[in-house]
């Protein structure tokens, strides 16, 4: 089973944070890291039933509960049975933006019982990375020969949205 969770506490109201999530796959997308990953695209607006994905990673919008959650279910041919979702939760004076990936590798995306997304560790004197190791051919083609470090998108919320740097 894969469970990968990333979250950021932002000094912005939940409505503003949700507007970033709602912009996903649009021409004015302010959240997706397009400079490092293939752009997210759908066959229509971001709404339940829309089909698309990014690069070879295919999914459909399984649930849209504005202004709290959008869930994407992977298509059966991708190699993971599960979903990824974006959630917005009020917290204190701001909001938490959370991305969750949950699923089970199937078919070619398993290798001797190990997930194609098993963490790999890159050791240096300053860093320890748990970036995904793309072993599945379909996943490998979306990342290239090596995993790419992805920096969080800059959020145009005014001030210092991440809290501290």
Is-contact 72 52, C-beta < 8 A? no
**Cis, bond preceding 67 (omega within 30 deg of 0):** yes
The pLDDT value recorded for residue 79 is 84
Cα–Cα distance, 153 to 162 (Å, whole number)? 11
Query: Of 27, 18, 113, whose CA–CA distance to 66 is shortest?
Result: 18
The pLDDT value recorded for residue 153 is 55
Ordered per-residue pLDDT tens for the chain, 165 residues: 899 999 999 999 999 999 999 999 999 999 988 888 899 999 999 999 999 999 889 999 999 999 999 999 999 888 889 999 999 999 999 999 999 999 998 876 665 444 444 433 233 333 333 444 433 444 444 444 444 454 555 555 554 444 444
Cα–Cα distance, 127 to 14 (Å, whole number)? 32
Cα–Cα distance, 50 to 95 (Å, whole number)? 27
Beta-carbon count within 10 A of 141 CB: 11
Q: Where are the domains of the chain?
A: 2-106
108 SS3 class: helix
Please check whether the domain covering 2-106 is classified as CATH 3.30.530.20: yes
Percentages of the chain per state (helix, strand, coil), in multiples of 5? 10, 40, 50
Cα–Cα distance, 116 to 79 (Å, whole number)? 9
Cα–Cα distance, 116 to 139 (Å, whole number)? 8
């Amino acid at each position: 089973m894969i469970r990968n969770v990333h979250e950021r506490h932002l000094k912005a109201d939940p409505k503003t944070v949700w507007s970033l999530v709602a912009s996903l796959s649009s021409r004015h997308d302010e959240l997706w890291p397009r400079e490092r990953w293939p752009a997210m695209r759908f066959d229509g607006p971001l709404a339940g039933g829309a089909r698309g994905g990014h690069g070879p990673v295919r999914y459909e919008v399984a649930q849209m509960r504005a202004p709290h959650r959008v869930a994407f279910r992977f298509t059966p041919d991708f190699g993971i049975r599960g979903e990824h979702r974006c959630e917005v939760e009020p917290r204190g004076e701001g909001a938490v933006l959370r991305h969750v990936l949950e699923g089970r590798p199937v078919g070619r995306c398993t290798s001797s019982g190990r997930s194609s997304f098993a963490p790999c560790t890159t050791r240096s004197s300053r860093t320890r990375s748990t970036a995904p190791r793309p072993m599945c051919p379909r996943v490998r083609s979306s990342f290239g020969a090596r995993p790419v470090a992805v920096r969080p998108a800059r959020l145009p919320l005014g001030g210092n949205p991440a809290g501290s740097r």
